[in-house]
A and B are shown apart, each in its own frame.
Chain A
């Protein structure tokens, strides 16, 4: 059946059709929907793991048990899961194992622009990359077959544009393989030095077998008839190239297998054209490989190393004519903002007001770094707020009275709790604020171990954050409602002044959650508003300033009341009061 599917949705379809039995993932844009769509298929046992390392090890265990398994993560998630990946390369698999990694060129939703192909090379595992949804489905089946044939985990790279573009997929019925019985094989699965030494040469030999496989695989193919211009490319760049050049204008080597690269195909292709060009986003990996083969293609000399490409970028770099177009207009930017009624806003306002240094973390609350709140001083990676705070206070204990870490509930479970354990164990007087909005927010509302629900929304064991923090050695743990500015102010002041480590749990569910009942919108009483702009300091999208007065957009306001607590003139009230 022909259906329009997101790249990630098609990858999930591929998992279903390949009879994948277990998927364990941690959400991260642009990888999240692979698992969200996979959970809709009966027969795939899906779950949100607390982090990517746990997810990958779970998938490994499922493969060991003889069922096809997968895990999905964003590029930086693979950093977290790199440890199991490198040694799974040595153990190999029992049933097929596929690791999805979603790269984000242009950093639409990421903190860096790393190129995951480097992991495939470093861990010596094969890597595939589709260029549209149809391939996204097909390549999953190929990946499982390669995994089982070559006894290796397979990395499956997908980039934002492929992951989040819809194109047509012709679906097929699933073929569920028989489970592979588990057999005790310590030399294969126990990677202690004696056995690991035996495995390394096996891995090297496997790479050569895989390279031979890549030479004949239909996943690498040549299109076009030109003997002037030859372009080596892969993934979404293939689509951009095809958008610009028709079959007679360029010969294209489209690589579906990114690691290992096929030497003979590349050399034959180079020999068939006068000019060789490599077009690849981010790192110049294919180009470097061509150079190792003695070729001198155009590549980084013409194309940038940063940000995603497009048809016009490629056309421009190759000196082609661009369409006639007007100049872009200079208009005010529209950056993403914390939503109206966001529970993080009141807490960040309190921190900014108290001029507290804030080590931040990854989530919606990263937006607290923007104007007008500008309440966040650093953001590095998942969990770094808590461990970074410890170092900040260790280096200079006088920091501890004016510095906090802020971290979301899901991020805390991902990798914040080990940092908190370090604060208790290695003794700094640190104050950690857990922004508990009862969901994984930024990636679009995924459940996590603190929410009490699993990926299907069924009841699950709920980790109690207060008890967890106490068990990790923190004596002072208190809960505050971020809609209550006075209570937030008191909690922050008292915990910063305390002479021991503490945790403040700022607790209120994300306002976008379906079960959250919002209050009626508020309004500004025009005769009371003095135009002091104090409420504008909250950065609430429902508040704007017109003709010297604050105005509330009733279609956006959730009635959270944070702004009315700020107003010194009592000008912000319930609509009914204002109408009186």
Chain B
């Protein structure tokens, strides 16, 4: 793909990148703390990853290999257009393979393949404030962070158990970083929360509309909040991936016909492909779990 002329390397001007890098350094120094930054207008709408794309633009170099995923997949609109954007304005190599990438921008998932030291994972964050649900005032939430007043976070979990008999929050599940700051992990499924704990890769978070950066440095403690008698647990599935037979990955449910037939497939398209290349195969068809009961033929 040809590199577009007329733009600075990676679209943003150098001063902006410096400003964002300074913010990121502070974020890395204080794990989980939300650093305000002067978010720029980007050539995509808010909610599509304006925060993540600015972080990526600030840390990317000509030697980087970029991978972009959206809901775990490399081939969805958002992933394709952001990857194409950086290929054009930075001229960097791109990949769909997790192991080859040095920089991974993600929305809603952490790759199933464990990340290694030297890799950077950039998250797109819609609402960076984990306390927003309980406290609408920004001045008050900042004070609560400063004074470590996190009791109210458990009110939400308490309410979950009261209503559903278990902690029903399944994504954007709040975590405590390095024993200090409660942090929103961005809307990743809670299935991915354990992967953040002591991850060897650097994790950077950017919220464009809310103008906040935060980070989890490599090998940092990340604990999901829970109760002693209702410990944190991740989702499980009764079926395996129909394409690769994986039973350890996050599965998407896909409706395949008008009779309510459905199949489960890996949400991480690269992981699924790796497994199929290695010779694994699933049962291939729709899931036989309670298939046709939903509609009358």
Bind each other: no
* Residues of B participating in the A interface, judged by any CB pair closer than 8 Å: none
* Residues of A participating in the B interface, judged by any CB pair closer than 8 Å: none
